Amino acid sequence: MKPLLTALLATLGSSALAAQQCNRIPDDTQRLACYDELNGKVFAPAPAPAAGVPATAVPASNTAATSSSTSIGTAAAATSSEPAGYGWGRFIKDLKIADESTPKGMGQDPATFAAARRDGQEYASVKAALIWEMSESPFPRDQWFGSRGWGPWVGLSINRNTLVAKRTDTREANVGLSGIVFSINGEKPSFLELGMATRISATYRENKVEGTHSNLFRVESILTSDRFRGGLPYTGPGAWFFAPKFGWQREDIQRAKAGAPSGEYTSAYAIAKLEVYPAKWSERLRMTAMAQRAHDLSTDGGLAKRRETFAKLGLEYLLYSPSSTDPVQPSLALERTTGADLLNGAPKFGQTQLVFKLKVN
């Protein structure tokens, strides 16, 4: 049984928790060794210098590279305790584009863009976020937070849709902390061999349609297991991955339109996402299905309790090679969406649209 972090990588593709651990290794050689482990390859360090060649000609990082028998956790822990410093170059590399303000290890989806013209009017749908997530944990690696890859992230997002009768127009600013809570692999007995990552975030939201300003606090977790996957994406006959999430959210509506109620919603929710990669048909195809159920546990200020279901089906075609290492990943997708997305402030609607997607990671 491979370490659980390998399962995490397969479960979430490029958004896996294991990849998050590797991403946070600043040393290039150690990071490559970490990726080799995830793919079941044996890392081959650079050959020793020839006779007469000064030892300084070989980068010191090569001598610290992890071997293929080392666990991913150990590879992640090999991060230097003395970081080289955090400059503008690394800051730019740590910027991501996705559909929501969420850290990479929680499973990011591409940002979506669509437009239409009807009766001489322009309509558009945009769901996008700019995210900064520190590429290495700021905590000492001998601490629990450091060894588990915990780190901060900040995001700005927009969710605007004028293609449907019930318009959506929300803007958010987010700040949070995310990382691995626990992972159980073959070295420890567990019938499900589960792993879990969690994000804790605070959000300021402006809903321009409803005229409300809210403060939100959210705790969300994602479970991973070898039982939740089959195959590897873009290879062989195909692959499938299942990612369940659950969370708790508190929304405090501070300001509302005159006559509209304000108060607090305390909600619990669950999300189930399935991804299928039919490589047998095309290595660039991906099919997705997502279902979300949210319940208000309590309310105040005269607010009514809500119980809503939100669902999305999609067929996506990648406009880049799956083997490409380019961080810019565009695609086209046909999507069907129904229900009310309480987590993102979208009212109940139904829509089928062809969208352009973009992810930068």
Tens digit of pLDDT for each residue in 130-141? 999 987 888 888
Tell me, yes or no, whether 146 lies in a domain. yes
pLDDT at 23: 52
Higher pLDDT, 24 or 313: 313
Tell me, yes or no, whether 101 lies in a domain. yes
Q: What is the rounded average pLDDT of the residues 249-264?
A: 83
Lowest mean pLDDT among 104-113, 183-192, 220-229: 183-192
pLDDT at 79: 39
Tell me, yes or no, whether 79 lies in a domain. no
Q: Tens digit of pLDDT for each residue in 309-337? A: 999 999 999 999 888 888 899 999 999 99
Tell me, yes or no, whether 124 lies in a domain. yes
Q: pLDDT at residue 163 above 80?
A: yes
Residue 6's pLDDT band (boundaries 50, 70, 90)?
very low
Mean pLDDT (the chain) is: 78
Share of residues in the chain with pLDDT > 90 (%): 42
Tell me, yes or no, whether 266 lies in a domain. yes
Answer for the pair 313, 292: CB distance below 8 angstroms, yes or no.
Answer: no
Tell me, yes or no, whether 329 lies in a domain. yes
235: phi then psi, degrees, rounded to nearest 5: -135, 155
Tell me, yes or no, whether 76 lies in a domain. no
pLDDT at 145: 86
Instruction: Note down the domain range covering 283.
Output: 94-360
What's 303's domain CATH number? 2.40.230
Q: How many domains does the chain have?
A: 1
Tell me, yes or no, whether 105 lies in a domain. yes
